């Protein structure tokens, strides 16, 4: 896949990708206590919309792991991406110019909030 093709694909889905990012930033996944299950559900919805198979493994109170498969036969070569869905406490909101869970977009190109 060429760089130009990738950039065109991003431009075509730009609004959908921004909406996805806004949902992620607005989701409270502070650990402790965890709360990343909602993030897993947001990611699952996005991936399923692209035809990607997912499994959510809940554990504890409002916690979960998400596994997504491009190819669930596991034949041939495989690639694993591993990440986390929780965030550390943001501290005092007074320390933030914009609220950490706001996903505020300015000038139609800058987003402010936790993780952006």
103: domain CATH number is 3.40.630.10
Q: Which pLDDT tens digit goes with each residue over 18-69? A: 999 999 999 999 999 988 999 999 999 999 999 999 999 999 889 999 999 8
- Which helix H or strand E contains 10, and what residues bound it? helix 3-12
Identify the residue with better confidence: 40 or 82.
40
Query: Whole domain around residue 67: which residue ranges?
Result: 3-112
Instruction: Count how many domains the chain has.
Output: 1
Whether 72 has a pLDDT exceeding 80, the answer reads: no
pLDDT band per the 50, 70, 90 thresholds, residue 112: very high
SS3 96: coil
pLDDT for res 75: 84
Whether 89 has a pLDDT exceeding 90, the answer reads: yes
pTM of the model: 0.87
pLDDT for res 34: 85
φ, ψ of residue 37 in degrees (nearest 5): -60, -40
What percentage of the chain carries pLDDT values higher than 70? 100
Whether 1 has a pLDDT exceeding 80, the answer reads: no
């Amino acid at each position: 896949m060429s760089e130009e093709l990738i950039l065109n694909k991003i431009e075509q889905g730009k609004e959908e990708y921004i909406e996805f990012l806004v949902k992620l930033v607005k989701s409270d996944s502070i650990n402790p206590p965890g709360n990343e299950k909602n993030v897993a559900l947001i990611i699952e919805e996005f991936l399923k919309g692209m035809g990607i198979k997912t499994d959510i493994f809940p554990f504890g109170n409002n916690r979960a792991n998400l596994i997504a498969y491009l190819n669930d036969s596991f034949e041939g070569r495989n690639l694993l991406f591993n990440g986390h869905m929780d965030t550390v406490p943001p501290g005092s909101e007074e320390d933030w110019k914009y609220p950490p869970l706001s996903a505020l977009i300015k000038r139609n190109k800058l987003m402010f909030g936790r993780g952006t």
